[in-house]
Structure 1
């Protein structure tokens, strides 16, 4: 798998592993612990069961996508 810098568009399909809710997002930062820093709006969009807000984080899968911009 490529790292964040390997994706020329910086766009990912981010999927909440607990609920399968997903959204396309541009990732512009990576936490020092290896996590992804998501925009609050994207976090809320895929936190459909409120578990992420309750735990302070989400477990996600992500894949590189072309957002056509």
Structure 2
């Protein structure tokens, strides 16, 4: 049986990135597919995002790149 969802838990909203944020993230990704802690902090400040959002974006972008390479 699947676990029951917690009725008190509020689901996290999906982050919608602006065109400018995506452009800058893609520019940084083209330079390096991995960002360190300090660079992630700096990027998050510049883009007005959480560090976690930047981290997850890079993870997802690497996965997408690998999928496209395997086609």
Higher relative contact order (CA 8 A, sep 6+): 1
TM-score under structure 2 normalisation?
0.29
TM-score under structure 1 normalisation?
0.30
Q: Which has the larger radius of gyration?
A: 2
Please state which structure has a larger fraction of its residues in helix. Answer: 2
Please state which structure has a larger fraction of its residues in strand. Answer: 1
